[in-house]
């Protein structure tokens, strides 16, 4: 049986309206053959996690340019655990200071993509991590 | 000796040009995708009539600038946008900038304030005082300006959906300082249309949102004639991904829409148009940016005179603020951003801006540090005093290339205006998702060009250097949020709730009756109604807009 393409939920949490990056990434992942669900702006952590569960997503991509990542990402990780979704690959993109990157990775974020990251590097990262996850399902 | 080039010389150049080797893979197209020729010559200006297309500076059609002597009389205003944490933190930063020679303020509000949400609201978690200053009530606003005389300074406020509310706060601060409204100078961004196109900080539906903008235009025309009630902005449209031509056309189309709404309100064009101001980006493509500003002035002047019947020259003059491009800053080798900002700033000055914000080198990482903002301000000072760029008016006027490009941008903008008209106008085009689609397409195209290395970005897709030094960044104290929330709760408890509720009810009535909401907002501000409470009162009548088609 051929594995299905990766299913990716992309979301913006909080009040931050900067959506240029997330929309460009959504299109690039679609062009690379992934199934992408973009939740739109102003999501609460609860709603994001519900979308991940409802869509049976393999990947959750969170875009944060407001500086609230150290508050919001831990909340998302806790909720993923509570809902039994710890195997979902969490990816963060946006304005993230260098010193916060290792902290986010330690919390369980799969990768952090800062401005200047190429679209191909994001696609490759997801492809490198998701097939392995699929075999377990 | 022949005084003119001969046909033979031209043919020789054409031949040599065609034969000369060309660098592979890069594009010579402008960022807007305009084909740029290898050489511009008198032939390109065969149809060009300098008297009609340029005129003199300070005269119709203002292509060369809005003042007769431009920066020889007065330099542009060096206006650095700042704000973070609490009102006290921001007040301290303003005093710091004053000590470095800045004379005008530009307030950055935090996201909850920008969205009309109080600091103690669950939706504000993690964002209080982070991207700007937290303002909940008049007390915060008053503290921001403590020790800064509103008689002396002009203040720019970047806020949109709740702009009418924050403007009411500002007028009450002036009142408390004993400064009459007629003397208050400054600008409120208050451009809700571009929020629907690009920046996403809208709260109410489009028609009701524009009605609020028109209320502020009317109120300022009658009570605060030195205040610019709206700054019609292309900056965010561009940052969201649009190219220079789209920025130019969408911004001016929004401007026409505000004019038409204000005329429909019964205001006469020369009553309010002189106080409309603009805000454009200064991006990387040096000449295209300069041409953009020149084209903008010419298009606006023609429309105001010929379509809207303006008689006063002040109505025809497009005055603009410029800011260097945040999205052009790179996280890799952040010091290199200093050079990007310098060139962008120079384009804005050669294009005749009235005020300028230069971004700090560390803004892809965090809010700027004091060191970084000082360098950004120094960049403008070097430009003003050392480069000679301010010595003569419109130094590039008459350049074959610049004039060709200016004409071309005007034509391209006109064809976009026609398209918007065909869609039924700006408000209809918003409903169909037109603006957002165009902007998202351009953003994607640009990123693909960078990924394919058709556009080289130093430190990102070439000249990569992992050993480049990092910069020290500003850290916003996480205790700020807690402090602001506690303080707000206390302040809310201290108010006279009966009087407050009457005031909020007056705001609802004014909104529902179609009367100008500003007097009711000002009255409620005096009773210390919060940004969130006033936004909710308006939303009770207007409803909330869930989002725009086009993603």
Contact of B458 with chain A, judged by CB distance below 8 Å, is answered with no
CA–CA distances in Å: residue A126 to residues A14, A53, A115, B430: 24, 19, 18, 35
Confirm if B34 and B288 have CB atoms less than 8 A apart: yes
Q: CA B149, CA A64: separation in Å to the nearest integer? A: 37
Burial of B385 (0-12, 13-18, 19+ CB in 10 A): exposed
Cβ atoms of B534 and B504 closer than 8 Å: yes
Distance from CA of A129 to the nearest CA of B (A): 22
DSSP 3-state of B341: helix
**Cα-to-chain-centroid distance, residue B373:** 19
Chain B hits for A118, CB-CB cut-off 8 Å, are: 450-451, 461
Residues of A whose CB is below 8 A from B201:
17
pLDDT in tens, B190-234: 999 999 999 999 999 999 999 999 999 999 999 999 999 999 999
Compute how many other C-beta atoms are within 10 angstroms of the C-beta atom of residue B62: 26
Q: In this structure, how many other beta carbons lie within 10 angstroms of the beta carbon of residue B105?
A: 25
Mutate which of B110, B192, B372, B444 to disrupt the A interface (most A C-beta within 10 Å)? B444
Cβ-Cβ contacts under 8 Å, B327 against chain A:
20
Can you spell out the DSSP letters for B104-127?
Answer: SEEEEBPHHHHTT--TTSGGGTTT
The closest of B259, B351, B269, B268 to B66, measured between CA atoms, is: B351
CB B366 to CB A66 under 8 A? no
Confidence band of B1 (pLDDT split at 50, 70, 90): very low
Asked whether the predicted pLDDT for residue B31 surpasses 90, the reply is no
Check CB contact of B239 with chain A, cutoff 8 Å: yes
Contact criterion met (CB below 8 Å) for A133 and A88: no
Which domain CATH number covers A88?
Answer: 3.40.50.280
Is B365's Cβ below 8 Å from some Cβ in A? Answer: yes
Under the banding of pLDDT at 50, 70 and 90, the label for residue B542 is very high
Question: Is the pLDDT at B81 greater than 90, yes or no?
Answer: no
- Is A87 a member of any domain? yes
CA–CA gap between residue A96 and residue B26 (Å, rounded): 30
In chain A, what is the straight-line distance between the N-terminal and C-terminal CA atoms, in Å?
Answer: 13
Among A94-98, B83-87, B246-250, B463-467, the range scoring the smallest mean pLDDT is: B83-87
Mean pLDDT (whole number) for B69-93 = 90
Judged against a pLDDT cut of 70, whether residue B551 lies above it is answered with no
Task: Specify the higher pLDDT residue, B83 or B121.
Answer: B121
A-B Cβ pairs (cutoff 8 Å, strict): 95
Q: Do B447 and A28 touch (CB under 8 A)?
A: yes
Nearest residue, CB atoms, A17 vs list B200, B241, B451: B200
How many folded domains does chain A comprise? 1
Mutate to test the interface with A, among B133, B200, B458 (most CBs of A within 10 A): B200
Question: Tokens for B433?
Answer: 């998702």
Q: Where are the domains of chain B?
A: 65-451
Chain B contact probe: residue of A67, A70, A117 with most B CBs at under 10 A: A67
Angle at B204 between CA B203 and CA B205, to 5 degrees: 125
- pLDDT reading at B58 higher than 90: yes
In this structure, what is the dihedral angle of CA atoms B189, B192, B196, B200, given to the nearest 10 degrees? Answer: 50
Q: What is the torsion angle, in degrees rounded to the nearest 10, for the CA atoms of residue B30, residue B36, residue B40 and residue B44?
A: -100
Which residues of A have a CB under 8 Å from any CB of B?
Answer: 14-20, 23-24, 27-28, 38, 40-42, 44, 66-68, 70-72, 95, 97-98, 114-116, 118-120
Percent of chain B with pLDDT over 70: 98
Position B3 confidence tier, pLDDT thresholds 50, 70, 90: low
| Dist CA B224 CA B128 (whole Å) | 31
CA separation for the pair B288, B521 (Å, rounded): 42
CB atoms within 10 A of CB B461: 17
| pLDDT tens, per residue, chain A with 137 residues | 557 899 999 999 988 889 999 999 999 999 999 999 999 988 999 999 999 999 999 999 999 998 889 999 999 999 999 999 999 999 999 999 889 999 999 999 999 999 889 999 999 999 999 975 554 44
Rounded-to-integer distance, Cα B315 and Cα B293, Å: 17
Above 0.90 for ipTM, yes or no?
no
pLDDT score at B532: 98
Burial class (CB in 10 A: 0-12, 13-18, 19+), B152: exposed
- Whether B477 shows a pLDDT value over 80: the answer reads no
- Name B456's Cβ contacts closer than 8 Å, sequence gap at least 6: B26, B462
pLDDT tens digits, B104-144: 888 999 999 999 999 999 889 888 998 899 999 999 999 99
* Rounded Cα–Cα distance for residues B325 and B491 (Å): 39
Residue B68 has pLDDT above 90, yes or no: yes
Residue A55 sits in which domain range?
A: 7-128
Mean pLDDT of chain B: 94
**Residue of chain B nearest A66, judged by CA positions:** B131
φ, ψ of residue A43 to 5 degrees: the values are -85, 150
Q: Does B479 touch chain A (CB under 8 A)?
A: no
pLDDT at B548 over 80: no
Q: Judge: A116–B330 Cβ closer than 8 Å, yes or no.
A: yes
Question: Taking residues B22-45, what's their average pLDDT?
Answer: 88
Pick from A3-17, B67-81, B495-509 the range whose average pLDDT is largest. Answer: B495-509
Architecture of the domain whose range is B65-451: Alpha-Beta Barrel (3.20)
Nearest to B109 by CA among B140, B150, B148, B149: B140
Instruction: Determine if residue B382 is left, alpha or beta; phi over 0 gives left, psi from -120 to 50 gives alpha, anything else beta.
Output: alpha
Name the H helices within B178-323. Answer: 193-194, 206-223, 235-239, 244-264, 269-272, 286-306, 313-316
Does some domain include residue A58? yes
DSSP states of B154-200:
EEEEE--TTHHHHHHHHHHHHHHHT--GGG-EEEE----HHIIIII-
CA B540 to each of CA B113, B190, B533: distance values in angstroms, whole numbers, following the listed order: 18, 21, 10
Q: Is B460 left (phi over 0), alpha (psi -120 to 50) or beta?
A: alpha
CB nearest B444 (choices: A16, A27, A40): A27
Q: Are B353 and B76 in contact (CB under 8 A)?
A: yes
The SS3 call for residue B32 is: coil
pLDDT tens figures, B245-295: 999 999 999 999 999 999 999 999 999 999 999 999 999 999 999 999 999
Of B299, B195, B204, residue with least CA distance to B239: B195
């Amino acid at each position: 049986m051929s594995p299905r393409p990766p299913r990716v939920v992309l979301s913006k949490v909080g009040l931050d309206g900067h959506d240029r990056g997330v929309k460009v990434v959504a299109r690039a992942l679609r062009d690379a053959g992934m199934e992408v669900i973009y939740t739109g702006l102003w999501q609460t952590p609860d709603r994001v996690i519900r979308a991940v569960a409802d869509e049976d997503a393999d990947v959750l991509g969170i875009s944060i340019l407001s500086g609230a990542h150290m508050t919001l990402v831990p909340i998302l990780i806790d909720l993923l655990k509570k809902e039994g979704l710890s195997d979902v690959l969490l990816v963060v993109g946006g304005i993230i200071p260098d010193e916060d990157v290792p902290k986010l990775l330690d919390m369980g974020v799969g990768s952090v993509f800062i401005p200047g990251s190429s679209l191909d590097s994001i696609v490759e990262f997801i492809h490198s991590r998701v097939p392995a996850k699929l075999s377990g399902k | 000796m022949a005084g003119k080039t001969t046909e033979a010389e031209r043919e020789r150049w054409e031949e040599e040009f065609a034969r000369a080797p060309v660098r592979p893979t890069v594009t010579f197209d402008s960022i807007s995708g305009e084909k740029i020729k290898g050489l511009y010559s008198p032939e390109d200006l065969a149809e060009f009539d300098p008297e009609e297309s340029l005129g003199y500076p300070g005269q119709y059609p203002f292509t060369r600038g809005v003042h007769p002597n431009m920066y020889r009389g007065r330099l542009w205003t060096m206006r650095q946008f700042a704000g973070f944490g609490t009102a006290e933190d921001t007040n301290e930063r303003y005093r710091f900038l004053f000590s470095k020679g800045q004379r005008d303020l530009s307030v950055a509000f935090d996201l909850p304030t920008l969205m009309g949400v109080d600091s103690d609201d669950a939706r504000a978690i993690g964002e209080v005082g982070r991207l700007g200053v937290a303002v909940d009530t008049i007390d915060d606003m008053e503290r921001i300006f403590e020790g800064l005389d509103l008689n002396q300074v002009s203040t720019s406020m970047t806020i949109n959906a709740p702009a009418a509310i924050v403007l009411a706060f500002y007028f009450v601060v002036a009142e408390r300082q004993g400064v009459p409204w007629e003397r208050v100078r400054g600008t409120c961004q208050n451009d809700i249309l571009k929020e629907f196109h690009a920046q996403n900080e809208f709260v109410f539906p489009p028609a009701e949102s524009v009605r609020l903008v028109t209320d502020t235009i009317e109120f300022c025309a009658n009570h605060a004639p030195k205040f610019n009630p709206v700054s019609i902005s292309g900056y965010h449209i561009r940052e969201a991904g649009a190219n220079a031509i789209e920025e130019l056309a969408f911004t001016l189309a929004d401007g026409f829409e505000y004019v038409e709404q204000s005329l429909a309100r019964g205001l006469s064009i020369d009553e309010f148009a002189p106080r409309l101001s603009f805000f454009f980006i200064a991006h990387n493509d040096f000449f295209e940016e300069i041409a953009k500003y020149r084209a903008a002035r010419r298009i606006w002047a023609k429309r105001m005179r010929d379509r809207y019947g303006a008689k006063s020259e002040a109505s025809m003059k497009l005055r603009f603020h410029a800011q260097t491009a945040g999205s052009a800053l790179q996280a890799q080798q952040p010091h290199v951003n200093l050079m990007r900002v310098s060139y962008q700033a120079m384009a804005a000055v050669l294009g005749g801006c009235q005020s300028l914000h230069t971004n700090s080198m560390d803004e892809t990482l965090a809010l700027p540090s004091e060191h970084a903002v000082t360098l950004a301000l120094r960049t403008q000072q070097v430009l003003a005093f050392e480069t000679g760029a301010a010595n003569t008016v419109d130094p590039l006027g008459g350049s074959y290339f610049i004039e060709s490009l200016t004409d071309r941008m005007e034509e391209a903008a006109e064809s976009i205006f026609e398209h918007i008209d065909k869609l039924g106008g700006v408000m209809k085009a918003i409903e169909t998702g037109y603006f957002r689609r165009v902007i998202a397409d351009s953003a994607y195209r640009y990123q693909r060009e960078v990924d394919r290395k058709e556009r080289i970005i130093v430190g990102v897709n070439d000249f990569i250097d992992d050993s480049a030094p990092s910069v020290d960044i500003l850290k916003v104290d996480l205790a700020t949020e807690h402090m602001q929330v506690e303080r707000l709760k206390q302040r809310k408890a201290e108010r006279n709730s009966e009087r407050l509720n009457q005031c909020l009810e007056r705001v609802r009535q004014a909104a529902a009756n179609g009367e100008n909401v500003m007097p009711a907002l000002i009255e409620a501000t005096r009773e210390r109604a919060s940004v969130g409470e006033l936004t909710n009162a308006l939303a009770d009548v207007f409803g909330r807009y869930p989002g725009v088609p086009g993603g």
